Amino acid sequence: MAKSAYFHIPFCAQICYYCDFNKVFFHGQPVDEYLQAMESEMKRTIEAFPADRLDTLFVGGGTPTVLEMKQLDFFLQSIYKHFRFSVHEVEFTFEANPNELSKEKLQLLKEAGVNRLSFGVQTFDDSLLKAIGRTHRYEDVIQTIALAKEVGFENISIDLMYGLPQQTLAQFQADLEIAFSLDIQHISAYSLIIEPKTVFYNLMRKGKLLLPSEEEEAQMYEEAMRQMEMHGYHQYEISNYARPGFQSRHNLTYWNNEEYYGIGAGAHSYLNGVRRANVRPIKKYIEKVQETGFPYLEAHHVTMAEQMEEEMFLGLRKTEGVSKRRFLEKFGLSIHDVFGRAVAMEKQKGLLEETQTHIRLTHRGKLLGNEVFQAFIGGI
């Protein structure tokens, strides 16, 4: 039974040049109708797939904090109406932009039981922020994180990006230094991936996007891993680092290949062995919920072979790797029964290593993760 729920708010005040998530400009959108449709989807989903008490909730986007106070309040009340969880035990995360959070909004979130904030910082360099289409600046981050602490938030995460256009290793090192000075609990550091249907994709096709070389990007990743460990942030997943006890429990749901609810336009869910994707366009989402109660675009029954593959390529993202015992308990077969050849080949390449309890990426394997994951797809 699913213990986690994801809620998608697809509205943004500004569309970033690299973003391919399901999002639209906030102004001129049927925001209230969308939130009402989300509430209907919550109701119908819980009726169809009854929930026990949830352990994690995650509100992402888009930019959830772009909602106005009344809209935010309605949305939070909708969650409480349909999902059960203990405010003392749950991890309740809200994504936020550093320049869109007033003290009033922070207080509303805190009073509603939100206990974890995830800020899309990306970089502290104002020239790079402008170049990637972000509207906030360095000072906004410093002020908003201070404000969040003042309101009482004790679990704060930021996202950083590397491999940005014309970004140097020195600039990324400066970003890390500032991040460590903020005294926060969690840092995600991702490399820029150029996705279709983004501003950056169009620029790249025209030869107008100057990116660091693969070697420079690898140096930035190596630097992130080295510096994080030095400053007390333990790498627990390829791109995620946390102080002890502050790993993202919600994201571990995905990497542990566990089931979860997904509410909202473009959201994905994994319930009773079926992966479902919701329609992405806002108006289409509202229409489908009104007409049928569910906004599903597609549903896929995950076969046993696919479950085993997912267990491997999701689990290998974690620093600890894939648990041999858990795999055996789940599928009645050992990892070596199913993937012995692939494991042996990747170990021979120096990309995987094996302990008594787990199979995991080596240091070099982390740099070539996608290549390793590919070895476990379609081979059963």
**The CATH number of the domain where 359 resides is what?**
1.10.10.920
Lowest mean pLDDT among 164-168, 283-287, 344-348: 164-168
- Both 134 and 219 in one domain: the answer is yes
> What pLDDT does residue 212 have?
79
Q: How confident is the model at residue 279 (pLDDT cuts 50, 70, 90)?
A: very high
> Are residues 208 and 340 part of one domain?
no
pLDDT band with cut points at 50, 70 and 90 for residue 303: very high
Residue that finishes a domain, picked among 238, 255, 272: 255
Indicate if 183 and 49 belong to the same structural domain. yes
Kindly state whether residue 47 falls inside one of the protein's structural domains.
Answer: yes
- Assign residue 47 the CATH number of its domain: 3.20.20.70
Is 285 part of any domain? no
pLDDT (0 to 100) of residue 201: 64
One domain for residues 250 and 341? no
User: Considering the domain boundaries, does residue 55 fall inside one?
Assistant: yes
The verdict on residue 379 lying in a domain is: no
pLDDT of residue 15: 54
**Least confident piece of the model among 84-88, 132-136, 257-261, 374-378:** 132-136
User: Which pLDDT score, from 0 to 100, does residue 140 have?
Assistant: 94
176 and 87 in one domain?
Answer: yes
Does 13 reside within a domain? yes
Q: 131 and 207, same structural domain?
A: yes
Round the CA-based radius of gyration of the chain to a whole number and report it: 21
pLDDT above 60 for 310: yes
In a domain, 334, yes or no: yes
* Cα dihedral 369→63→245→250 (10° resolution): -70
* pLDDT higher than threshold 80 for residue 304: yes
CA distance 36 to 33: 5
Question: SS3 of 199, please?
Answer: helix
Question: Would you say residue 366 lies in a domain?
Answer: yes
CA dihedral 55, 59, 60, 65 (to 10 degrees): -150
Residue 290 inside a domain? The answer is: no
Number of structural domains the chain divides into = 2
Domain coverage including residue 349: 304-374
CA distances (Å), 217 to each of 61, 118, 332, in order?
Answer: 26, 24, 41
User: Of 255, 287, 319, which residue sits at a domain end?
Assistant: 255
Co-location of 334 and 239 in the same domain: no
Provide the residue type at 332 as one letter: G
